[in-house]
Amino acid sequence: MPWDTLFSAANIYAAIAWVILILLPRWEWSMRALLVGGAGLLSLAYAFLIIGFWTGGIDIGPGNGEEGNFSSVAGVQALFAKDGGLVLGWVHYLAFDLFVGLWIAREADERGVSRFIQAPILLATFLAGPLGLTFWLIARETFAKEK
């Protein structure tokens, strides 16, 4: 599968999961489905890609001529300069951001936090993972004091 196609498919898949998480009812079975079928499937795709990269079974494509690795800025830059390396990193972000979003949603629901307050926090998590997590960590302390 071409890297552009995999990138687009992962984006669309994650976006659908986020729309479901933010807008639709959160029944226990739907949250489990998002965990396993959303974050879990993205994680499985990442596992397949990273193991393939590490074992040499997947060629991540041409880059700037340097060997890609995780041990230096130059190595990560070389890795992300390759189409496959960029997709590898992006799927990693998508999987973890969705997992964090699911955790935030579960905690917020347990604390009785309005979905109107949750929505911008979850959107920030989708668009800029750690920013949304930071917003939630601040907000959850606010709601913890109200209990």
Q: Which domain holds residue 120?
A: 3-146
What is the domain count for the chain?
1
Indicate if the pLDDT at residue 68 is higher than 80: no
CA distance 97 to 82: 22
Write the CA distances from 119 to 76, 101, 116, 136, 143, integer angstroms. Answer: 33, 10, 5, 11, 16
CA distance 104 to 61: 36
- Provide the pLDDT confidence category of residue 70 given band limits of 50, 70 and 90: confident
Q: What is the pTM of this model?
A: 0.89
- Give the residue with greater pLDDT, 107 vs 72: 107
- Provide the pLDDT confidence category of residue 91 given band limits of 50, 70 and 90: very high
